[in-house]
Chain A
Amino acid sequence: NAGVTQTPKFQVLKTGQSMTLQCAQDMNHEYMSWYRQDPGMGLRLIHYSVGAGITDQGEVPNGYNVSRSTTEDFPLRLLSAAPSQTSVYFCASSYAGTRHEQYFGPGTRLTVT
């Protein structure tokens, strides 16, 4: 199993540009989520999905869009990048059910200038 994979590993954007961060998992997990990690703030939930076709907002959803057309893939779209979106982004997945731990991807380091 590859687990949770994310691409790209690094990205530099100019303010106003858009891009998509890719996330895929091969563990047949129902639940997938996107977090951002900023110094001193831990991880904050951006969006999550409990299954194909179902998404919902997390703690900090503004400026981001998601879709879940398949069980495996959960891309995160930045609509119009802003310097405040400079961060490290992690995708995670797990089986449905609150007792299960989440598996994390290696992260994407995004810089917006």
Chain B
Amino acid sequence: AQSVAQPEDQVNVAEGNPLTVKCTYSVSGNPYLFWYVQYPNRGLQFLLKYITGDNLVKGSYGFEAEFNKSQTSFHLKKPSALVSDSALYFCAVRDFPYNTDKLIFGTGTRLQVFP
């Protein structure tokens, strides 16, 4: 069965420092991977996705993610964190077979950026 794991419940980083939020996946076939962000009392917002092509994917708000097939990872990164990046981040993978549109979500990682 398809699955994603976010091994850290919370990540703390100082403003201006680089940040990484980790995600690993387990899928049959080629993975379709997504990152979403949830601000307090809001719905999820799409950040970026990997379908095929370049392993480094750029998304909204200066975020990027690196797809690593050998390590089955899709870590979210940002070179310089902002306090306003503090939120809950979800990694998701498309369910297999790909004739459905179902997404499987990780449990989420809370990012806290300190001034």
Q: Which residues of A contact B (CB under 8 A)?
A: 4, 31, 33, 35, 40-45, 48, 50, 58, 90, 92, 94, 96-107
Contacts and interface: CB of A to CB of B under 8 A. Distances in A.
Interface stretch (B12-20, B75-83, B103-111): B103-111
A107 B46 contact: no
Given A101-B34, A106-B43, A48 B107 contact: no
Interface string B12-39: 0000000000000000000010101000
Contacts, number: 58
Most chain A CB inside 10 Å of its own CB: which residue of B34, B51, B90, B101: B101
Contact of A99 (B9, B43, B51): B51
Given A42-B90, A98-B32, A90 B101 contact: no
Nearest to B44: A104
Contacts of B90: 42-43
B52 to A, nearest CB: 9
Interface residues of B, number: 24
B101 A50 contact: yes
B101 A45 contact: no
Contact of B101 (A4, A97, A106): A97
Top 9 nearest A-B pairs (CB, nearest first) are A104-B43, A42-B105, A101-B46, A104-B44, A43-B105, A42-B107, A98-B98, A31-B101, A106-B43
